[in-house]
């Protein structure tokens, strides 16, 4: 198995890059063929990658909420009916 980076170099990873690497890390852990030390390194890397994915998802959610709020404000300013969040 290729060595995984041990430092937290995830800051420059896209969501897709972090997700794909996380999938590989989980797969390697599930195989159970790594030494304890390798497993710990993989787990730590997985934690870093999961945090990076979460950062991307939180950012995406904030952008969507801002866009929805902007659309609602524009509709209200134009006198158009505003859709309610309640269903």
Q: Is the pLDDT of residue 51 over 70?
A: yes
- Quick one: 61 exposed, middle or buried, by C-beta within 10 A (0-12, 13-18, 19+)? exposed
CATH code given to domain 12-65 = 1.10.287
Cβ neighbors of 52 (< 8 A, separation 6 or more) are 10, 11, 13, 15, 18
Q: How confident is the model at residue 1 (pLDDT cuts 50, 70, 90)?
A: very low
C-alpha angle with apex 24: 56 to 4, nearest 5 degrees?
90
pLDDT of the residue at 80: 61
Has this prediction a pTM greater than 0.75? no
Q: How confident is the model at residue 2 (pLDDT cuts 50, 70, 90)?
A: very low
Domain ranges for the chain: 12-65
């Amino acid at each position: 198995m290729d060595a995984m980076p041990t430092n937290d170099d995830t800051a420059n990873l896209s969501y897709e890059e972090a997700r794909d690497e996380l999938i590989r890390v989980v797969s390697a852990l599930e195989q159970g063929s790594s030494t304890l030390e390798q497993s710990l390194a993989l787990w730590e890397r997985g934690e870093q990658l999961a945090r990076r994915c979460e950062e991307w998802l939180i950012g995406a959610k904030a952008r969507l909420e801002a866009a929805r709020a902007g659309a609602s404000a524009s509709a209200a300013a134009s006198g158009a009916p505003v859709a309610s969040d309640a269903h």
